[in-house]
Structure 1
Amino acid sequence: MSARSRSSARWLSVAIGMVLVIGAVTGTADAAGETYDQYSLMSSRSAGQLVDTAGAPASQWAWNPTGAGRSEIRWDTPANWNNPATGVEHFVHDGDWVYLDGYEDKGTGAYNPQRVTSEQVGDGDCAHLVSLPSHGGQQHYVRWTVPTAAYCLIADGTITTAAGVVHFRHRQIWRPATTCATRFLGTVACIEQQETWWDDNGHPMRMQIDRTQKLGRGKGPGLQIHATVGEGKPIDWTADLRYTWTW
């Protein structure tokens, strides 16, 4: 086989692999007819509050749609909610993906863009990984349609801040819709995100986050959260969504 033929064969193998993986990711998603928006509520002014195992307010979130498929979400402790928001995540919906663009500090007005240098998608075991095409450097965060098979996303890149450039790796496994028995909201249709995050923000590159969260259809994110690593330290933290509202 000539060098050109071998190159063509390798290209064809990669292309077929990508089709198979993306096909597994999409599966019968269109037939299911559900979207990430139905579970995240990112297109509406929605909010929720979580409580810890003792029933004390532990975390709070609120979506703020900003137009043209864009929306931002704030996560914070309820006790800090009246202070200027920091780390507000900006998301963009385009086609069949939701992309993460960056983080904003509402107090200072600083915006920290996040840009990927490489991205891969694979099956629910993070196997059979293939590269994803760039979307202006924005991170492929989650599929808009809810697939019927689990899939894995791995992104490497940088966050540009006033203090310098932070390098990160973000691995996510998204699992298809099922039903969740909850502490406060009964039995709810849900999807699951399991994520790990590494960065070198003021320290050598290391894992900073390892957590699983469930999003409830019509309820939003944080339906249930269990974290085993937080701020680079082993933890065992659980919280459940108790209140939801619109604003």
Structure 2
Amino acid sequence: MQAFSLKNQVALITGASKGIGFSIAEFFAEAGAKVVISSRDQPTLDQLAQELRDKGYEATGIACHVGKMDQLAHLVSETIAQYGQIDILVNNAATNPTFGPIHDTTLDAFDKIMNVNLKAPFELMRLCMPHLQKSTNASVINISSVGGISPEPGLGIYSVSKAALISMTKAFAKEWGDFNIRVNAICPGLIKTKFSEALWSNDKILQHTLRQLPIKRIGTPEEIGATALYLASPGASYTTGAVITADGGLTI
């Protein structure tokens, strides 16, 4: 067995036009997977998919706004039309339109966060299930957050959504073991991405965070990509329901 080979497998990755999502796509493609990268902007996806193909990888970009449930069905059907199978699903797309006290979160912001961060992964997992059941190495990876373990200041409802995603990961893992589908979660800490720029670009917040870390630096998207590769690979064939932190030791 090639423990970390994804040869002949198809991986669907949301929120994959930058940061953690694109890093995961690169790791998977290098391991031999055919990758479908998804985000809202088709021209950007076309450019990124071409960059991957120029490296000799197999990649396609399919636009989808995961907060719109009808678009999720289209994403899955287009993936099947292109490659005929889905072996790996990575729910990485997330949103956080608000930063500040939890009681200042509007209902509109609450709904947007829950739709993108929780409802979309739920629906995509349901839509992908018939295809995952046919795979010999079916794997779902939900990208949660350390905020899902312990709420982060200023990110109250975002943290709540990520805690719910962890719980949902475990619920699916318990039930989907019967179908030989593994379901795991990754909880990144502070990673240097555009999504988290409001945190690492603020020197006061950054220094406060670094003081709490045994590994005193910000993480990289590549470090999450490598963690995802493990969970997607045959090397993790006995791992399901796991919640893996990649946070420099923040949650110790």
Q: TM-score, normalised by structure 1?
A: 0.31
Name the structure where strand makes up a greater proportion of residues. Answer: 1
